Amino acid sequence: MSRSEAALSPAPPPPAAQRLAYIVDDDRDMRMSLRMLLQEDAIDARPFLSAADFLDALPELKPGPVLLDVRMPVMDGIALLEALTERGVRWPVIMMTGHAEVPLAVRAMKLGALDFLEKPFPYEEVSALMARAFELVDAQARQGGDAREKLELLTARERQILDAVARGMSNKEIAGELDLSHRTVEMHRGRMMRRLGARRISEIIALVSGAEH
């Protein structure tokens, strides 16, 4: 295949063995049956019996959908969702619960959960949901890659200013911290925005957070 053809054809889907997901549920039977069912779709689901276990393992885990039980002792599903949000983890989280009451659902959606599965759920529902969750994981990975490529175009000084802008610092504060004149900061900032093709600070923040994933 020629180089140009390679660039035009879509990236091949990753081998089935790489489809990784996580189950966090204190109910052993639930973990086992979900794990077996997901295997049918060639999804390797790692089981965790508590929120704390999952958080401990988190730094070593690759991005993947999380099937998360709402009702668990000590740290429940909502508390884990909060912990993930605080750590900037934006993986698709699917909450599992007996009954999704409106206040609970609203809380979970605000914390970035993707969906609710009301127990008992038919397997087809999980299967369809997981397929869409993996699409999101792939899209996030692509965006992360694009963002990293863009950031590599910046000079060291522009990168410094970008990080300060993303932290919410004003031009004046940046000038003070980097010991530069206000005008110089403005100039670097303008050049940085143009290089990134960004018009607003919110786009810069989205780009930086995208590159971190």
Tell me if 26 sits within 8 A of 73, measured CB to CB: yes
Phi and psi, residue 69, nearest 5°: -75, 135
Going across the sheet that includes 115-118, the strands are 44-48, 20-24, 66-69, 93-97, 115-118
Q: Which is closer to another protein, CB of 68 or CB of 113?
A: 113
CB of 98 to another protein, least distance (A): 16
Q: Which is closer to another protein, CB of 24 or CB of 147?
A: 147
Q: Which is closer to another protein, CB of 111 or CB of 175?
A: 111
Q: What is the DSSP string of 94-147?
A: EEEES---HHHHHHHHHTT--EEEESS--HHHHHHHHHHHHHHHHHHHHHHHHH
Q: Which is closer to another protein, CB of 78 or CB of 174?
A: 78
CB of 64 to another protein, least distance (A): 16
CB of 65 to another protein, least distance (A): 12
**What is the spatial distance between Cα 108 and Cα 103, in angstroms, rounded to a whole number?**
9
CB of 201 to another protein, least distance (A): 10
Where on the chain is the footprint of another protein (CB under 8 A)? 92, 100, 102-103, 105-110, 112-116, 129, 132, 136, 143, 199-200, 202-203, 206
Q: Which is closer to another protein, CB of 162 or CB of 180?
A: 162
Chain centroid, CA 55 distance in Å: 15
CB of 122 to another protein, least distance (A): 16
